[in-house]
A = this chain, B = another copy of it.
Amino acid sequence: METVSIRTSTNQYDVVVGNGLIEQISNFLPKDYSNILVISDETVYEQYGERIKNGLGNRKIAHSIVPAGEASKNINNYYKLLTNALNQELDRKALIIALGGGMIGDLAGFVASTYMRGIDFIQVPTTILAHDSSVGGKVAINHEKGKNMIGSFYPPTAVIYDINTLRTLPQREIRSGYAEIMKHGLISSHSFFEECLNTDLTNTLSDQTLKDQLVKGIKVKADIVQRDEKESNIRKFLNFGHTLGHAIEAEAGYGNMTHGEAVAIGMLFALQLSETIYHKPMPFDSLYEWMKRNKYPVHVKGFEMSRLIKRMKMDKKAENANIQMVLLQDIGKPSVYTIDDNVLLTQLKKFAEKVG
């Protein structure tokens, strides 16, 4: 078991990573909550619902379940969950537990951040991807006009990460989550990046490897969000691979390509661009080979480049006409670069020629 402590502008919380934590969750609650609402999705609750209830022991516990999938992160489920919380008589000293992946963490976290102006919530992530989303205090729901358009900065009270839940993840989920670990490698250090490159996702990862790399990834993220919680400057580095990634994800249609698969393509493109802009050799080929070896989809020929650029402009990080992208001056040295539309189009075409 390992603990990473994260200090924010308003409080401090622990991310605990280990095996079998759900069954002993009572030991990790920072307070003696009397009334608890577990928010989860159908798939996850079926697997872990009883276990977490047993782990919580003799408290007043209720649960609210939404359908699995990103589409559940909407205003209707948000309001329904608030209504359930009121029906369960949750008061200001109650607790919400988000049991699931990033979608559940975002949705339940936004409910917690606005229920009676904010009550405690604990993240219990059940995917690799959620090592990223559960840390850093960003919570949100989607608007039909854009992802995560409605939300808050609201740090959790704790993150309890039981890596036993990762054993049953489907291969696509592993790929999706591992792309964010790779991102944390690329923006932090040569050694962490090399370690990621040497990881073979087609074989089962050992608990030790998985725990080590998750903790490393969490520390990279923690270090950044502690220095820039509200994304005024360096937190933007965490968007490495995401500007093109979000555009690809949306163009493919949510669900057709996973978040991490789209981000991986975005990172590969960012490496090409970094090399062009900063005239510094980048490990484009190594990442490309690693992605193919681990069965990431790499082709972009199905996408219309002008539509991708339009999507990138709609991304809320584009604060004015020009698109901002995170590039690497070197491995571990990210920087924000404002790119001209024509340069971007030329580079995207070149990228499409390379990867097909």
Contact with B along A55-93 (1 / 0, CB 8 A): 000000000000000000001000100110011000111
Per-position binary interface string of chain A over residues 134-154, scored 1 when its CB falls under 8 Å from any chain B CB and 0 otherwise? 000010100101101111110
* Chain A, 199-224, CB within 8 A of any chain B CB: none
Contact between B114 and A151 (Cβ–Cβ < 8 Å)? Answer: yes
| Contact, CB under 8 Å: A93 / B149 | no
What is the total number of copies of this protein in its complex?
2
Q: Nearest Cβ in chain B — how far from A62, in angstroms?
A: 16
Q: Do A115 and B149 touch (CB < 8 A)?
A: yes
Q: Is the C-beta of A116 less than 8 angstroms from some C-beta in chain B?
A: yes
A316 and B143 form a contact (CB under 8 A): no
Of B82, B91, B149, the residue contacting A82 (CB under 8 A) is B149
Q: Is A30's beta carbon under 8 Å from chain B?
A: no
Q: Are A114 and B82 neighbours in the complex by a CB distance under 8 Å?
A: no
0/1 per residue, A304-328, Cβ < 8 Å to B?
Answer: 0000000000001011100000000
Interface residues of A in 294-348 (CB under 8 A from B): 316, 318-320
The answer to whether A47 has its CB under 8 Å from any CB of chain B is no
A239 lies within 8 A of chain B by Cβ: no
- Whether A93 and B143, one on each chain, are in contact in the complex, defined by CB atoms closer than 8 angstroms, is no
**Is A255's CB within 8 Å of the partner chain B?**
no
Measured in the bound complex, the distance between the Cα atoms of B34 and A319 in whole Å is: 11
Asked if A9 CB lies within 8 Å of chain B CBs, one says yes
Alpha-carbon distance A117/B9, docked complex (angstroms): 16
Kindly state whether residue A118 has any CB partner on chain B within 8 Å: yes
Contact residue among B10, B91, B152 (Cβ-Cβ distance under 8 Å from A114): B152
Please measure, in the bound complex, the distance between the C-alpha atom of A146 and the C-alpha atom of B336, giving whole angstroms: 45
Measured between beta carbons, the chain B residues less than 8 angstroms from A138 are 117
Nearest residue in B to A317 (C-beta to C-beta)?
B92
Residues of B within 8 A of A116 (CB): 149, 151, 316
Contact B150 A114 (CB under 8 A): yes
| Pairs across A and B, CB under 8 Å, 14 listed | A9-B10, A10-B10, A75-B79, A83-B143, A91-B319, A110-B114, A114-B114, A114-B151, A115-B149, A116-B316, A117-B140, A117-B148, A117-B152, A118-B153
- Report, nearest first, the 6 A-B pairs whose CB atoms are least far apart: A86-B145, A117-B151, A91-B319, A114-B150, A116-B316, A75-B79
